[in-house]
């Protein structure tokens, strides 16, 4: 019988059953191998980048449409090898899609989508009575979101640009309040931009003239959200207050920094970053963007574009009414 079910050599139906069993055995083996590769890839990615998406955060996803059709022979019957190839490729595609969703690496939206994104952001800014953004760097797309919709936080309207290929994650809300933050990144390569709201010292007047130690404390708290034992040798290397007309009289400070990330696998990863820091409402807001030391040579310009686009609004906006109206209008 060769281990097959329903197998008699004289029965055509049983031969089909035998063939089908072999197909299932073949596919099951493929599934186990693909699953192992997915798990190993995810572990390697998170160990190398030092970043793992919070399960409490939502991820913006692009739809993915799959289509396939098996080939038939002249008698309208799917050939054995063709059927096996079709089922194998379909399963491999499904496994690849699952791995993509799990890792957060998604297909890039089109440039037309980016243009529509800019129009939508400007329409929302107008609805809030705020100045619009004149332009966005090539390859970038603006993101306008509210941090603090939950009852456990105070609301902040946050604007930042990010590369069009980066994945965006947003805070999640449930009956217990809000969790997570606004973040964008190319996580497989360790390139990230993350909002952190530093509340330990409350609002800071004249943050442009604040002592360097304030920025060090805020950034250390930002990079150590997963624990104080995941970094070493942190240092702020440059502090530059921003006073350009594009900031509309608001005080922002750009800081360069570096540190060593200690991964769960026992590796030390040198990282370099840029952060934009301001103080709106009862806190200090930090948008920090970082890459590995090796990639920073390539990504520095992008990271500086991201942080220079960072804006925060808190006072003077009636979020309870205006937020609901604006979100209902623009979605």
User: Cα–Cα distance between 268 and 10 in angstroms, integer?
Assistant: 65
pTM over 0.75: no
Give the position of tokens 């970043």: 51
pLDDT of residue 326: 64
Helices (H), the chain: 12-49, 80-103, 111-127, 212-223, 293-308, 324-330
Task: Tell me the domain boundaries of the chain.
Answer: 12-103, 111-330
Instruction: Please report, in tens digits, the pLDDT of each residue of the chain (331 residues total).
Output: 444 444 444 444 444 444 445 444 544 454 545 455 444 444 444 444 444 444 445 554 433 333 333 444 444 444 444 444 444 444 444 444 444 444 334 345 555 555 568 899 999 999 888 999 988 988 999 999 999 999 999 999 999 999 999 999 999 999 999 999 999 999 999 999 999 999 999 999 999 999 999 999 999 999 999 888 899 999 999 999 998 999 989 999 999 999 999 998 889 999 999 999 999 999 999 999 999 999 999 999 999 999 999 999 998 766 666 666 666 666 5
- According to DSSP, residue 28 is labeled H
User: Cα–Cα distance between 278 and 292 in angstroms, integer?
Assistant: 25
- According to DSSP, residue 295 is labeled H
pLDDT of residue 309: 97
HSE (side-chain half, CA atoms, 13 Å) at 101: 11
Helix axes 12-49, 80-103, angle to 10 degrees: 20
User: Cα–Cα distance between 14 and 6 in angstroms, integer?
Assistant: 5
Cα 149 to Cα 128, 176, 313, distances in angstroms: 16, 12, 14
Burial of 289 from C-beta contacts in 10 A (0-12 / 13-18 / 19+): buried
> Which CATH architecture fits 111-330?
3-Layer(aba) Sandwich (3.40)
CB atoms within 10 A of CB 244: 8
User: Cα–Cα distance between 159 and 122 in angstroms, integer?
Assistant: 11
């Amino acid at each position: 019988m060769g281990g097959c079910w329903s197998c008699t050599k004289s029965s055509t139906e049983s031969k089909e059953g035998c063939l089908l069993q072999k197909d299932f055995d073949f596919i099951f083996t493929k599934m186990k191998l693909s699953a192992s590769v997915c798990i190993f890839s995810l572990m390697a990615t998170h160990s190398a980048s030092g970043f793992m998406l919070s399960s409490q955060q939502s991820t913006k996803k692009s739809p993915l449409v799959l289509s396939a059709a098996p080939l038939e022979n002249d008698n309208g019957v799917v050939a054995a090898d063709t059927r096996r190839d079709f089922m194998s490729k379909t399963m491999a595609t499904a496994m690849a899609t699952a791995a993509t969703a799990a890792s957060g690496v998604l297909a890039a939206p089109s440039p037309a989508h980016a243009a529509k994104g800019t129009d939508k952001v400007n329409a929302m800014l107008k609805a809030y009575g705020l100045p619009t953004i004149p332009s966005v760097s090539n390859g970038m797309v603006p993101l306008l979101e509210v941090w603090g919709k939950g009852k456990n936080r105070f609301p902040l309207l946050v604007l930042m640009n990010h590369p069009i290929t980066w994945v965006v994650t947003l805070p999640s809300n449930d009956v217990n309040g809000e969790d997570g933050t606004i973040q964008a990144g190319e996580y497989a390569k360790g390139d990230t931009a993350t909002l952190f709201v530093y509340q330990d010292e409350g609002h800071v007047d004249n943050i442009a003239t604040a002592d360097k130690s304030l920025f060090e404390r805020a950034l250390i708290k930002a990079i150590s959200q997963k624990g104080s034992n995941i970094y070493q040798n942190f240092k702020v290397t440059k502090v530059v207050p921003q006073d350009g007309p594009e900031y509309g009289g608001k005080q922002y400070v750009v800081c360069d920094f570096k540190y060593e990330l200690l991964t769960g696998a026992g590796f030390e990863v040198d990282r370099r970053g840029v952060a934009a820091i301001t103080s709106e409402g009862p806190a200090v807001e930090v948008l920090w963007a970082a890459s590995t030391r090796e990639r920073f040579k390539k990504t520095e310009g992008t990271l500086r574009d991201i942080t220079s686009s960072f804006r925060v609004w808190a006072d003077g906006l009636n979020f309870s009414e205006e937020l609901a109206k604006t979100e209902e209008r623009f979605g």
